[in-house]
Chains A and B, each alone.
Chain A
């Protein structure tokens, strides 16, 4: 026979642990990517959706010009099939759960008799919710594409929360972090006159696609009054390092995409001289 008292105590401890873990999660801006990784590719927007394109024609044409140039074939190792199936399975389970929860919620909404369109709404709910999901997912693709077009100048801070990255580096092992560090440090050409004279630290939020290529770099602005020319030069050297062919793809574990897709890199060559 199980002691009821100890059962309640155990349940209480587990519940507290769960709350402590989940509570900070609820305040983060992160969203769990439930759809499979979306390859960055040019598609004709009009063929897939009737919604107005968020990108202007000029930007779209320019982006098309940039991305339709021949790129070297990707040598990235594909995500292992087993792992990919696991992710897909889990994702689909949760998607179904959310979908069914929404359906239930919609069924409970009282429908006014005076609105003749109410029954239609009720029937269209499931398809609309799927369509809304698709559209939202596609909009996020377009946003990421748009982000690639925009200039990554240090003057622009596109996202006010761009630098609210969690300072957590314990989701990758030490050897994985070291491998990444070694790789990028080989590509990072340091100019002593910039870094030593001005004591510069460059912080960059780097977005990485599933093929482990850097898709976007946002550099944090330096403090006011900082030598702008020196910082610009330092930031350029960082961007070159991250986009160097020798450092593409990045030495990151393919099966941990969700853990490294957005990273904060800090460049401060104090140990060089």
Chain B
């Protein structure tokens, strides 16, 4: 498969391009970015001769089967629609779009043009989430009654210019919220029906939400709770899945989980601590953590390439719309101070 990259910033440079270069039978045939120095540097590194400042010109190139859109999210909808109209399969960075309306418009065009589509929810491809998803599907904890997720992330200041986040319209919900909401929807496997959000700007001068808690109810009667914050100095992405037959605690960044079917004993906590300590030392002395990150992009792209099952496509589109709808509803709920039907 032949890929074109639209937007060659930090995420494309650190993840997409290295991941593509490791996948067999995949060629990077074209690059597009507004920065000609970036294009020059990357075209030399990846031996790509076809470069464009204007991405629309790139989309005219029939040599390209698929595109990866890695631009700021306010550009995603326009670019997804253009790419779909040109018959290109699409991988787009998260968040898919900033509003539900944009997502619906994109999905209409994607379905009309019959192209493959996925959003970069690469955490789905982390070993611990893959394993726990399998356990849940096997019914190891019975029927899920509720999931709580915590995504407390340091403020994204260094590296990528994330200034699009720091305004009244976006904020912390759009930083790690897409990953967390996607994971919640993925595990729950039922459409969300109502969202209630609390929190806001705890600094009173930042101009955007920096700590938000969201309650989501689902069609199957279950609920999910998402806790997003930039404030407490902790870097953590964890989930607790409670079911009629047990409980799973997931620590995504540490690639670790614990499964309980009865009240955990002190021995369970001791064993848990030992496993975490082992995981910390492995991360310290190897490049396991960064390898896991790149691997997740590789697996996502491979899955995208291999995915020709239309039923799976439709489900994927529904889940992506569900994620964007939850984000959109959370924003509205915060603004209006009430629950929002999704």
Q: Do A and B associate with each other?
A: no
B residues at A contact (CB < 8 Å): none
User: A: which residues have CB within 8 A of B?
Assistant: none
